[in-house]
């Protein structure tokens, strides 16, 4: 059975683990790595990570520096050690290519010679600081592919300094999770699911 590791700060909330739980039904073993504690504007103070019942025993909360900073949190538990312990065949880093966790886990995967993928969710064309551009270039040049969450991200790849090497794919919702767009909305953005994406890609490589 192939084993996938998913690294995801959104998955600190149980409902955001639903797409990853779909992998089990597709014949994958899965381990979800999340920050052990997180904070956001909808709760006062920090909170512990949640676990979806379908993923009981498969979600691992880790110590992070700067919890709540989406693109600037850093894992204190060493990614390389986690990869050696979990022994995955593939790693999906559900983080932006410009983020510190994408760089941190991308370097660990590269050192372990493991294929990894990233997500591109941000859909605003804006200038980035030099360090963010460097991180983006490093991660995208080494990623196996990018899960593009919106049509603009698919169009922008290869333009404006974004490296064009990794292929990008829209990531559909799991069965039963697709929401119908409201009337008057044109070109609704696809929602992400590595499980749905991996069904389409059928990773035998």
Q: Return the SS3 of 44.
A: coil
Rounded CA-CA distance 95/120 in Å is 7
CATH number of the domain encompassing residue 9: 3.40.50.11930
Q: Reply yes or no on whether the pLDDT at 47 is more than 80.
A: yes
The single residue listed with the structure tokens 């039904």 is 25
The reported pLDDT for the residue numbered 41 is: 81
152 against 124, higher pLDDT: 124
C-alpha 24: how far from chain center: 17
Beta strand spans in 36-139 (E)? 37-38, 47-48, 59-62, 64-65, 74-75, 90-93, 116-120
Domain that holds residue 170: 3-201
> How many Cβ atoms from other residues are within 10 Å of residue 84's Cβ?
11
- The string of pLDDT tens digits covering residues 90-147 is 999 999 999 999 999 999 999 999 999 999 887 666 788 999 999 999 999 999 988 8
Domain count, the chain: 1
């Amino acid at each position: 059975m192939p084993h996938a590791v998913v690294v995801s700060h959104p998955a600190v909330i149980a409902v955001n683990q639903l797409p990853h739980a779909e992998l089990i039904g597709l014949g994958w073993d899965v381990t979800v790595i999340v920050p052990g504690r997180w904070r956001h504007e909808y709760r006062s103070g920090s909170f512990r990570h949640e676990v979806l019942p379908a993923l009981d025993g498969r979600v691992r909360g880790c110590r992070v520096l700067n919890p709540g900073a989406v693109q600037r949190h850093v894992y204190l538990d060493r990614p390389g050690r986690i990869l050696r312990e979990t022994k995955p065949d593939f790693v999906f880093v559900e983080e932006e290519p410009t983020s510190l966790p994408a760089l941190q886990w991308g370097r660990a995967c590269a050192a372990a010679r493991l294929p990894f993928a990233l997500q591109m969710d941000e859909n605003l064309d804006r200038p980035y600081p030099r360090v963010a551009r460097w991180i983006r270039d490093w991660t995208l040049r080494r990623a196996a592919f990018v899960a593009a969450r919106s049509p603009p991200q698919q169009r922008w790849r290869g333009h404006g300094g974004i490296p064009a090497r990794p292929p990008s794919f829209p990531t559909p919702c799991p069965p039963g999770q697709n929401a119908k767009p409201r009337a008057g909305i044109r070109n609704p953005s696809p929602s992400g699911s590595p499980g749905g994406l991996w069904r389409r890609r059928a990773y035998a490589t």
